[in-house]
Amino acid sequence: MQHNLEYLLEKDALEAAVVKYCTAVDRLDDVDDMLTNFTEDAVLDLTGLHLPSFVGHKEIAGFYTQVFEDMSHHGHLLSNFRVEKLEGNDAQVKCYITGLGRSKAGVDIQVYVWYDLILRKIDGTWKISVFYEAPLLPMPESVTAVHSKG
């Protein structure tokens, strides 16, 4: 993969799309804004975390509505961002995430996961079309204790 200026600009835009997602999930307050990160037909695949998959805005909105109701605090720290594929308006990126949170019931969560994302550029904006998440380290029981209601 060439690292020319065009590639670097696209890489930056792709990373910005992932940061936009992390920022939206960390705010815990605007499901409509969260959905702007995803294509209409997106798949949110959390099976790597022993949680369900969600297809399309309606199902994804239902999941994040529950997350926002359950959690009082979130923090997602992004590292090891890399572009696996970049072909026109299609891209695949992977990155590591340290996720921190506290549920409204007082359950603390700290996870080390990786994201495998397929993004599609729509009207000049990168959006997630497939979101897969899996653990880098074993998942604490607190994750399913908080998020298994979906």
pLDDT in the model for residue 98: 98
Of 93-102, 111-120, 134-143, minimum mean pLDDT range? 134-143
In this structure, the chain runs to a length of 150
Q: Is the sign of the CA dihedral 139, 61, 23, 80 positive or negative?
A: positive
What domains can be seen in the chain, in order of their start residue? 5-147 (3.10.450.50)
Taking residues 72-82, report their average pLDDT: 98
> Residue 100's beta-bridge partner residues?
75, 110
132/107 Cα distance (integer angstroms) = 24
* Matching residue, tokens 């590292």: 79
Tally DSSP H helices, then E strands, for the chain: 4, 6
Give the model confidence (pLDDT) of 50-62 as tens digits. Answer: 889 999 999 999 9
Q: Evaluate if residue 65 carries a pLDDT over 90.
A: yes
pLDDT in the model for residue 2: 54
Q: How far is CA 10 from CA 23, 36, 85, 109, in A?
A: 20, 19, 11, 33
Are 56 and 41 a contacting pair, CB within 8 Å? yes
Rounded to two decimals, the pTM is 0.92
Q: Is the sign of the CA dihedral 18, 20, 21, 26 positive or negative?
A: positive
149/79 Cα distance (integer angstroms) = 29
